[in-house]
Amino acid sequence: MSQSIFKQFWAFGRCIALGFALFLASVFSTWSWIENPGGIFRDSASTNWRFVYDTATSWFIPTFLYTLVLASLLHLLVGRLHSLFNGNKDC
């Protein structure tokens, strides 16, 4: 009864979106922390984790949502094209 993740477009899209969004949020949060524009991320004493968190969530949420929709739709499209060209009706 369990299906492969490649058969479930919503699960495939969710996994791709989660990985991509985590990657981008990590990269841009780290980049912002290193560049430290205006000294808002850190000073000589400590790191302002609230700004780091805000930056991470501002990258994660929209990236996750857009990638979820895009990856799911592309997965459906590729599956349909594959079944169309191979004559397979179960996809």
pLDDT digits (tens, 9 = 90+) for 7-47: 777 788 899 999 999 999 999 999 999 999 899 999 999 99
Please check whether residue 32 is in contact with residue 41, taking contact to mean a CB–CB distance below 8 angstroms.
yes
Q: Is the pLDDT of residue 75 over 60?
A: yes
Report the pLDDT averaged over residues 63-76: 93
Please check whether residue 63 is in contact with residue 21, taking contact to mean a CB–CB distance below 8 angstroms.
yes
Query: If you count DSSP H runs as helices and E runs as strands, how many of each does the chain have, helices first?
Result: 2, 0
| Nearest Cα residue to 76 out of 11, 1, 28 | 11
| Position 5 confidence tier, pLDDT thresholds 50, 70, 90 | low
Q: In a 3-state reduction of DSSP, which class is residue 88? A: coil
- Size (the chain), residues: 91
| Position 2 confidence tier, pLDDT thresholds 50, 70, 90 | very low
Element holding 74 (H helix, E strand): helix 49-86
Average pLDDT, the chain: 88
